[in-house]
Homo-oligomer: A and B are copies of this chain.
Amino acid sequence: MSEYDDATRLETGDDPTQRHGTFSEDWMIGNAVNGGLVMTTALRALGEHLAADPGETTEHVDPVVLSAYFMTASQPGPFTVTTEVMRCGRTLSTGQMTIHQAGDDGRPVERMRAIGSFGNLTDLEVQRQAAPAEMPPPDQCLSADQAPPGFLSNAKFLDRLDLRLDPDTAGWALGKPSMRGVMRGWLRLRDGREPDTTLLMLALDALPPVAFDLGLFGWTPTLEFTGHVRRRPEPGWLQVTLGSDTLGGGMMEEDAMIWDSAGNLVAQSRQLCGVRTPR
| Residue positions of A touching B, CB distance < 8 A | 64-65, 67, 69, 71-72, 86-87, 91-92, 94, 96, 110, 113-115, 117, 119, 121, 124-130, 181, 214, 223-224, 226, 228, 230-231, 244-253, 265, 268, 270, 272, 274
Q: In the complex, are the beta carbons of A67 and B129 less than 8 A apart?
A: no
Q: Is the CB of A245 within 8 A of B129?
A: yes
How far is A270 from B65 in the complex, measured between Cα atoms in Å?
Answer: 11
Among B94, B126, B268, contact of A247 (Cβ-Cβ < 8 Å): B126
Whole-angstrom distance between the alpha carbons of A67 and B96 in the complex?
A: 12
Check A245–B64 contact: CB distance below 8 A: no
Count this chain's copies in the assembly.
2
Please report whether the interface of chain A is mostly helix, strand, loop or mixed according to DSSP.
Answer: strand
Of the candidates A228, A231, A253, the one having the most CB atoms from chain B within 10 angstroms of its own CB is A228
Nearest neighbor of A253 in chain B, beta-carbon distance: B228
CB–CB A71/B91 < 8 A: no
Q: Verify B224–A124 contact, CB threshold 8 A.
A: no
Shortest 8 CB-CB distances between A and B: which pairs?
A67-B67, A126-B248, A124-B249, A128-B247, A226-B226, A71-B87, A130-B245, A127-B247
Point out the residues of chain B lying under 8 angstroms from A117, CB to CB. Answer: 69, 223-224
